[in-house]
Amino acid sequence: MDVLATHGAMLDAPFTAAAARQHGLDYFALLREDVRHVSRELYVPGGGQSGLVDRVRAHLAVTPGAWASHRTAAALHGLWLPDAADDQTLLHLSKPTELPRVRRAGVVGHRVRIRPEEVVEVESGIRVSSPARTWLDLGNELGPVALVVLGDQLIRVPRPDFEGRDRPHATRNSLAAMLRAHPKMQGVARCRAALADMRVGADSVPETLLRLCLLAYGFPEPELQIVLRPYDPFSPSGDLGYRGIKVVLQYDGGHHQTDERRKRDARRDAAFRAAGWVVIIVTAEDRHDDFGRVRAELRKYLAARVS
C-alpha cells in the first residue's frame, strides 16, 4: 500500500521521522515507499519539489532552538533580493551563540548574537529573523545598492488595503538602535552606510534604483511621493521629482497596464501638466541603461528651468 496515499496530507510535504512514527510508519516502511531521505531524521515525498515554507518547517522541527535567517528569512517575509542572492536551494538557519551550529544536509548554519525581539513567528509558528534583523544578517553578503533597496522596503509606509498592515517593518531610528546593539557584527559598517542613504517614500524597488542612479550621476536628491497640492487630501502624487522646478517622474511598472490603472495614471499626469509641471514617464526598459533616456530628459529640463 502507498504510504503517501494512506496517510494523506501529512506526508504531502517534507516530514520528520518522529511524525512518521506517530502515523505508524517505521524506518523500513519508509524505505519501501516513494519518499526520499534528505537529511538526518528528515524525509520528502518522492518528487522532492516542496515549497520553501514546508522545507523550513520540517527542518526546524528537527533542529531545536533554530530559526530561519538570512536569504531564507527574506524570502519568507516576501522581501526583495537581487538575483544573485535569491537562490533558495540551501536553507539558512541560525542558532544563538550558546548552541552548536546547525550541521545538516541542505542547510547553511549560523551562530549569532540575537536579541529576543529580533526573532518573530510567521506562517503558523515558523520562527524567523525579523525583517530588520534579516537586513542586518545580509549586510556581509549584499552590495551597497542592494542594502539600500532592501532597507527602503523596511521603512516605507505600507498601504493597509493592499498589504494587510499599517506599520512599516522598521524605522530609521529602530534600525540605528539595532546597529548600535551589534557593533562588532560582520556587515554592520555596510548597513550603517546604507542606512544613511535610505529614504522613506520609495514604493518599489525600481523607484529606489532610480533615485540612487540620479544621485550617482550628480543630480540633486529628489523629493519622494511628491504631492501636487500638499494641503489637499485628494491630491494626486508622483513617485519622485523636483518641486522647485516643477518636474515629476512617474515609474510605470507592469501593474500599471490595466485599463483602470492607465486611466488613473492619465488623470494624474494631466493634473500635474495642467499645473505647469513636466511629467517624465519611466518604464522598466529604462533600467537597462541606467535610466539614460530619463537622465537626458531631466538634465534638459533642469538646465532650461534653472537658466
Which residues of the chain are in CATH 3.40.960.10 domains?
A: 205-306
H/E stretch holding 239 reads: strand 237-242
- Average pLDDT over the chain reads 86
pLDDT digit string (tens) for 142-170? 999 999 999 999 999 988 877 778 899 99
Alpha helices in 23-121 (DSSP H): 27-31, 52-61, 70-77
pLDDT digit string (tens) for 277-302? 999 999 999 999 999 999 999 999 88
CA distances from 306 to 61, 226, 239 (A): 63, 20, 22
H/E stretch holding 95 reads: strand 91-96
With a pLDDT cut of 90, the percent of the chain lying above it is 64
As a whole number of angstroms, the distance between CA 155 and CA 151 comes to 7
Helix and strand counts by DSSP (H, E) for the chain? 13, 12
Decide yes or no: CATH 2.50.20.20 for domain 205-306.
Answer: no
Residue 262: pLDDT band (50, 70, 90) is confident
Q: Does residue 200 carry a pLDDT above 70?
A: yes
pLDDT digit string (tens) for 52-107? 888 888 888 888 899 999 999 999 999 999 998 889 989 999 999 999 998 888 89
Within 10 Å of residue 60's Cβ, how many Cβ atoms? 21
Among residues 150, 166, 147, which one has the least CA distance to residue 158?
A: 166
Strand 278-282, strand 247-251: pairing = parallel
Place of cell 518528487: 47
- Averaged pLDDT, 264-277: 95
What's the pLDDT at 10?
46
Place of cell 533615485: 211
- Averaged pLDDT, 118-141: 94
Place of cell 515609474: 251
